[in-house]
Amino acid sequence: MKTPLIIEQHMHGAFGVDFNKAGVNEIITLSEKLRTIGIGKFFPTLVTDSITNIKRQIGVIKEAAKQTGSIAGIHLEGVFINPAKKGIHNPAHFLALTPENYRLIEDDFIKIVTLAPELDEGLIGYLKEKNVKVQAGHCCGFGVVDGVTHTFNAMSGITHRGKSTALSALIEDEVYAEIICDGIHVSDDALKLFFKAKPADKVILISDALPITYSSLKETVFADSKIYYDGERATSADGTIAGSTKLLPEIIKILATKGLFNPQFIENSYHYHNLEVEGEIEWDEEFNIIK
């Protein structure tokens, strides 16, 4: 089977590289490693941090992007999210969802913003005017959004009374929805429900990979928290899952072994971001990439 190169729109790093801390050369080297495993483009995802550090890292990522064609833009996850669904994020850095606060870090290289729609004070409309993808995540509400960030995780769950973020993610057919299929973040039954409910052309596979992914690190500091990796999952000291420790090629193999993979899923990211289909990957029958 052949597919286009993979686009990864939600990853915080890998191979020991942390997008909230990395230098230009580290990011360029990472982009080269990602391409060798089938990831053609990616959106470095910045976790909640101080305004000063976010601005600095935006500059670093933009400089790296000038030297590699693999970086498609920045995904800003955090700062504008709900403390009730903070996950691993540090609420000390959270800001009200206003255009004024966004201008503190605004840059035309930010292409995706994950936020809590229920707390919006004009930011969603401002981002849409700037053609930035707005995604509901780390939240309890929904609203007029383009996508949903890591469906089921860090959001109000499915309910049979009233509304919830996860429920809206499943029934709003025009909205794209991220999903982490690493076997840790979402159960098999929830995955089956997701793929039954969501139109195939609106599924966005992501890894939400941490810097610790594919490294020798057993612990690290991420989002101001100490993160521990036990060989299966990466969590904070209180057991909160911090992100994935797998990248999309491996996740696709896991999904395929469950009979839930559709090649359409890889193409969807190109359509979502209006990018031209790039490159080609050949997969063997066990969903290993043939090099």
Distance between CA 69 and CA 76 in Å, rounded?
Answer: 20
Q: Quote the pLDDT of residue 278.
A: 86
Mean local confidence (pLDDT), 35-39: 97
Q: Is the pLDDT assigned to residue 277 strictly greater than 80? A: yes
List, for residues 109-157, the tens digit of each pLDDT value. Answer: 999 999 999 999 999 999 999 999 999 999 999 999 999 999 999 999 9
* Contact status, residue 44 vs residue 27, Cβ threshold 8 Å: yes
pLDDT band at 84 (very low <50, low <70, confident <90, very high): very high
Question: If you count them, how many residues does the chain have?
Answer: 291
Q: Calculate the alpha carbon distances from 2 to 6, 9, 71, 75 in Å.
A: 11, 21, 23, 28
Closest CA to 76 of 124, 109, 41, 122: 109
Mean pLDDT, the chain, integer:
97
Rounded CA-CA distance 121/95 in Å is 11
Q: Cα–Cα–Cα angle for 91, 18, 182, nearest 5°?
A: 85
- pLDDT tens digit string along 13-26? 999 999 999 999 99
CATH class of 2-277: alpha beta
Cβ-based neighbours of 156, under 8 Å, separated by 6 or more: 85, 139, 140, 141, 164, 165, 166
| Residue 291, pLDDT above cutoff 90 | no
Q: What is the mean pLDDT of residues 63-69?
A: 97
Mention every residue, 6+ apart, whose C-beta is less than 8 A from residue 91: 83
Q: Can you tell me which residue has the tokens 């769950």?
A: 157
User: If you average pLDDT over residues 76-96, what whole number do you get?
Assistant: 97
Give the amino acid at 187. S
Range 259-280 average pLDDT: 96
Q: What residue spans of the chain are helical by DSSP H?
A: 24-36, 51-65, 99-102, 123-129, 165-171, 188-197, 248-257, 264-272
Average pLDDT over residues 233-261: 96
Percent of the chain, pLDDT > 90? 99
Domain boundaries, the chain: 2-277
Percent of residues, the chain, with pLDDT higher than 70: 100
CA distances from 170 to 134, 167, 203, 205, 209 (A): 17, 5, 10, 15, 23
pTM: 0.97
239 Ramachandran zone, left/alpha/beta (phi>0; psi -120 to 50): left
172-192 tens-digit pLDDT: 999 999 999 999 999 999 999
